[in-house]
């Protein structure tokens, strides 16, 4: 069942259900799948950019990544089971890929970050098949790069170039692939590379991961205004509007 917030249909599942009941069967049958992990900022971006909105609406799954989405769903009296953080889905998929022999492509982040992230992932998941990797500072119209990624025939493609570029890239080029689970993963490679850190557990338990990210990267402070605007719009009943 999908819970719609500002026209964006969110998947209502626990993280475990999402991995085991939604993604695992689709990987087993090699069914092409697109996953968006959306926080309030992404929902707000879809309000400003209709092409982006259509891409997010057309995704197979939109996960609630961000406590603001969970609060909004509660305020709209259609609660979502739990937050599904993108990076935790990446982790679970890497486990699954190593176990089942699925190959993964890592597209995104700066060259050095990308290389360090892939090296770290290979260390943690030594049997993982890496289809390939490439940095994320490419032009979205660079079709030859997409063709090169498709030629590696990956089972899973992680695209870490930030929103909306990552989702737009996936929508534009997924037809070049025969199969593949495609997922935009934002700053996840920075975390694997050690260039960014997730919040300590206590911050996460208190649902303050967003605040931690601002504390360690103050340039993100402006993003909070977008999230506040989102919460304000929900509070005045705009959540049910497209
Ligand atoms: N990035 C990239 N190509 C670009 C712009 C950004 O590869 O053209 C990378 C950037 O280096 C970082 C990630 O995309 O690793 C974006 O992380 P962020 O946490 O800002 O993601 P967002 O919150 O915007 O989804």
pLDDT bracket for residue 207 (50, 70, 90): confident
Atom of ligand 1 nearest to the CA of 223: 23
- Say what the pTM is: 0.94
pLDDT at 35: 98
For 26, 38, 68, 87, 182, the CA distances from 239, given in Å and listed in that order, are: 31, 15, 12, 26, 27
Q: What is the mean pLDDT of the chain?
A: 95
pLDDT bracket for residue 1 (50, 70, 90): confident
186 CB less than 6 Å from ligand 1? yes
pLDDT at 218: 84
Whether residue 152 is predicted with pLDDT greater than 80 in this model: the reply is: yes
Q: Name the token pair of 22.
A: 């939604």
Q: Quick one: what percent of the chain has pLDDT higher than 90?
A: 85
Q: Quick one: what percent of the chain has pLDDT higher than 70?
A: 100
Whether residue 65 is predicted with pLDDT greater than 90 in this model: the reply is: yes
Atom of ligand 1 nearest to the CA of 184: 25
Q: Which of 161, 170, 220, 222 to mutate to test the pocket of ligand 1 (most atoms within 8 A of CB)?
A: 161
Cα of 192 vs centre of ligand 1, distance in Å, is: 14
pLDDT at 53: 98
64 CB less than 6 Å from ligand 1? no
Cα of 42 vs centre of ligand 1, distance in Å, is: 13
Whether residue 213 is predicted with pLDDT greater than 90 in this model: the reply is: no
187 CB less than 6 Å from ligand 1? yes
Q: pLDDT digit string (tens) for 8-37?
A: 999 999 999 999 999 999 999 999 999 999
Cα of 161 vs centre of ligand 1, distance in Å, is: 4
Cα of 110 vs centre of ligand 1, distance in Å, is: 9
pLDDT at 183: 98
pLDDT bracket for residue 159 (50, 70, 90): very high
pLDDT at 205: 86
107 CB less than 6 Å from ligand 1? no
pLDDT at 92: 98
Domain ranges for the chain: 2-235
pLDDT at 75: 96
220 CB less than 6 Å from ligand 1? no
pLDDT at 214: 84
């Amino acid at each position: 069942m999908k819970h719609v917030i500002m026209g964006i249909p969110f998947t209502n599942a626990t993280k475990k259900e999402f991995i085991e009941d939604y993604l695992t069967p689709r990987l087993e049958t090699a069914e092409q799948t697109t996953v968006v992990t959306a926080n309030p900022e992404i929902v707000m971006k879809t309000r400003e950019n209709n092409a982006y909105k259509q891409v997010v609406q057309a995704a197979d799954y939109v996960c609630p990544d961000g406590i603001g989405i969970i609060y909004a769903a509660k305020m709209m009296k259609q609660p979502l089971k739990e937050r599904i953080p993108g990076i935790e889905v990446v982790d679970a998929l890497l486990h699954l890929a190593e176990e089942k022999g699925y190959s993964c492509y890592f597209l995104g982040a700066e060259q050095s970050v990308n290389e360090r992230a892939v090296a770290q992932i290979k260390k943690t998941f030594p049997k993982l098949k890496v289809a390939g990797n490439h940095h994320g500072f490419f032009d979205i119209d660079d079709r030859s790069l997409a063709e090169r990624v498709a030629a590696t025939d990956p089972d899973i493609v992680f695209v870490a170039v930030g929103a909306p570029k990552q989702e737009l890239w996936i929508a534009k080029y997924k037809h070049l692939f025969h199969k593949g689970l495609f997922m935009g993963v934002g700053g996840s490679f920075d975390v694997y590379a050690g260039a960014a850190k997730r919040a300590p557990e206590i911050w996460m338990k208190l649902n303050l991961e967003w605040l931690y990210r601002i504390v360690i990267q103050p340039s993100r402070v402006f993003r909070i205004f977008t999230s506040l605007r989102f919460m304000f719009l929900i509070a005045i009943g705009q959540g049910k509007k497209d």
